[in-house]
Amino acid sequence: MMASAQSAPSKVLATVLLVEDEVLIRLMAANELRKAGFTVIEAAHAREALSVLRSATPVDVLITDIRMPGPIDGVQLATLARELWPNLKIAIASAYTPQWPAVNVIDAFFGKPYNPDRMIERITELLQGIK
């Protein structure tokens, strides 16, 4: 008999919108999330993320970097997303300790460099109530 070990779950857990302007960091994080069974939509900046959120594509979790190019940073994106999509789970990621007054806008914070195991564990915890 063969052992039935799998490296990824057989069903998709949820859809994650990953907003990260650093291409290699985004690719690494997206790859880890996909291996864990998540569908991942990648965006390079806030405007691209807003376009996805406003489309018919369902998104369960938004993970956004704080510092990004363009007129909207990650905190502003998270604040807008919370106002428009109150049930969306939102995480902010940064190499810097967050210093902002709108802490109630987010559900999780991920330090950078990403710890993939912790990120996946925390996202799974966030989704337990909806998935």
Assign residue 43 the CATH number of its domain: 3.40.50.2300
Which residue range(s) make up the domain with 29?
A: 15-115
Let me know if residue 100 belongs to a domain.
yes
Q: How confident is the model at residue 104 (pLDDT cuts 50, 70, 90)?
A: confident
> Does 67 or 7 have the greater pLDDT score?
67
What's the structural domain count of the chain? 1
Q: What is the pLDDT of residue 8?
A: 45
E runs forming strands in 1-131:
15-19, 39-43, 61-65, 89-94, 108-111
Let me know if residue 52 belongs to a domain.
yes
pLDDT tens across 29-66, in order? 999 999 999 999 999 999 999 999 999 899 999 999 99
pLDDT tens across 119-128, in order? 999 999 999 8
Let me know if residue 51 belongs to a domain.
yes
Q: What is the pLDDT of residue 40?
A: 97
Q: What is the pLDDT of residue 23?
A: 96
